[in-house]
Amino acid sequence: MPAAGAIDRVRIDKVGKRYGSERALAGVSLELAAGSMCALLGHNGAGKTTLVGIVSTLVRQSSGKVAYEAAGKSVAAEAVRREIGLLAHASLCYGELTAVENLAFFAGLYGVDAGRAAIGKLLDRVGLEPRARDRAARTYSRGMLQRLALARALLAKPSLVLLDEPFTGLDRGGALALGEQLGELRAAGAIVVVVTHDLEAIAGRVDHVAVLRRGQLVHEARGAYDYEQLKDLYHRHAN
Amino acid sequence: MGIVRQAARVAWKDLRIELRSGEIVFTMAFFAALLAVIHSFVFPVDPKLVRAAVPGMLWVSIAFAGTIGLGRAFDREREHDTMRALLLAPVPRVAVFLGKTLAITGLVLAVTAVCVPVLAFLLDAPLFSEFWLLVLVLVLGAIGIAIVGTVFAASLLKVRSRDVLLPVVMYPLLVPLFVAGTSATAALIAEKANLDRAWYWIVFLGLYDAAFLVLSLWIFESLVIE
């Protein structure tokens, strides 16, 4: 059962983005619904990260509109940010602070429980080993940073989870565990958007696939996909 | 109230990181002290000349050291793209601006705490004759530098040549502040302190800070969103 104020629909309507003379996105329309997991596929430079940036409110679109709805009503920008959990290329965490301090700081900004027990539980969930939690994050390996970044993204129990290459740096076990967590988030009613090239990790979990090529949405389909189907989709439309 | 609390949270995070690493404040303070020492070498210790030159030396040291600190303070937000995390948080984005400004004010004040005694000692400058008024001038100056610096440092965060661009775009806007700061300081350390003139420039500094604060609160969000 989604929490009150949870975003249950995102309508991306003819969104375009230009960086100077460079076109990053052109007229992309997509609808994301609660309890679904959308895989955004495409080669490097296809516009996936830009689209995630726009949906996360951190990048302003040059044209088009993104509308967020909760129980049929549109949601204001500040309230939208409360509902977004973003896992980006960078960890978005401070290297000089420990995992616990990072999460306590962001919990304060989000107005959620910043107690050590709550943070410990979250770090257990993402699999960050207890002895690393009181060490400065700059000493972490890539995989550990990714786990901390995921904990930060999930800290406020977001209803719109945007994950840009979430499997980077994770070992096989970590990637499988993350895949399971994404499934749980989806089952709990969140909207999950995954940008990835790791088709194996999302196979059997996504129910919505959107393929971007040179800033344009070239294919969109809904349904369950296994690895072979995803690979076929990717090769047919992304190239 | 929420904005103030969240701004304080951001500022405390910055100061906590700085207290732990000491990286920015030590670099700034060392550079400021170095500038003061160089000034003491290149100017003869003549009481008349000192009174005329020390205000300029003080504010040049604060400006240069402050710029170093500003650049580094925002580099920290760039390292793991944490500025995006701050902007993504469900707090008014002006709270992020105010928090960063508050922390940078603290850093600039730390530099002044080094510059003033070093210049007073090396050049035998009468900087403590109107101590509390000088503190007021320096606090207002530090706030102004932090306000203008935060806006530009944040908006240049993604620009490759930001280290070069920051002083180039920031100093022209800080000229009135430096004029007011040096004039107020000169009035305070004159042989016979001219308090009327000092207060005139203190009020000017207060108005400068207020004007740029309002302007910065208005434009900050549009500057930092890509």
Give B75 to chain A, closest Cα distance, Å.
12
Express each pLDDT in A142-182 by its tens digit: 888 988 999 999 998 899 999 998 888 788 877 887 888 88
Mean pLDDT throughout B52-57? 89
Express each pLDDT in B165-214 by its tens digit: 888 888 999 999 999 999 999 999 988 889 999 999 999 999 999 999 99
Enumerate the residues of chain A whose CB falls inside 8 A of the CB of residue B16: 97, 101
- CB spacing of A58 vs B13 below 8 angstroms: no
A32 forms beta bridges with: A10
Q: What is the DSSP letter of A3?
A: P
Residue of A nearest to B95 (CA): A109
A238 has pLDDT over 80: no
Both tokens of B6, joined, read 């969240």
B145 has pLDDT over 70: yes
Residue type, B81: D
Interface A-B, measured as beta-carbon pairs within 8 A, has a size of: 75
Give A96 to chain B, closest Cα distance, Å.
6
Enumerate the residues of chain A whose CB falls inside 8 A of the CB of residue B79: 95
Rounded Cα–Cα distance for residues A44 and A196 (Å):
10
Rounded Cα–Cα distance for residues A90 and A146 (Å):
8
Both tokens of B124, joined, read 């035998």
ipTM score for this prediction: 0.87
Do B118 and B33 meet the contact criterion of CB atoms below 8 Å apart? yes
Query: Which pLDDT does position B18 carry in this prediction?
Result: 87
Nearest by Cα to A12 from A212, A204, A226, A231: A212
Kind plus residue range of the DSSP H or E element containing B161: none
Q: Which of B18, B77, B82 would best serve as a mutation to test chain A binding (most A beta carbons within 10 A)?
A: B82
A2 has pLDDT over 60: no
Q: Which of A56, A79, A111 sits opposite B88 (nearest CB)?
A: A56
Express each pLDDT in A41-93 by its tens digit: 988 888 999 999 999 998 999 999 999 998 888 887 678 899 999 998 888 99
Rounded Cα–Cα distance for residues A64 and A229 (Å):
31
Residue A209, SS3 per DSSP: strand
Enumerate the residues of chain B whose CB falls inside 8 A of the CB of residue A96: 17, 20-21, 76
- CB spacing of B85 vs A56 below 8 angstroms: no
Mean pLDDT throughout A131-151? 88
Residue of A nearest to B78 (CA): A92
Opening angle at CA B55, ends B52 and B58, nearest 5: 140
The residues, any chain, with a CB within 8 Å of residue B46's CB and separated by 6 or more, are: none
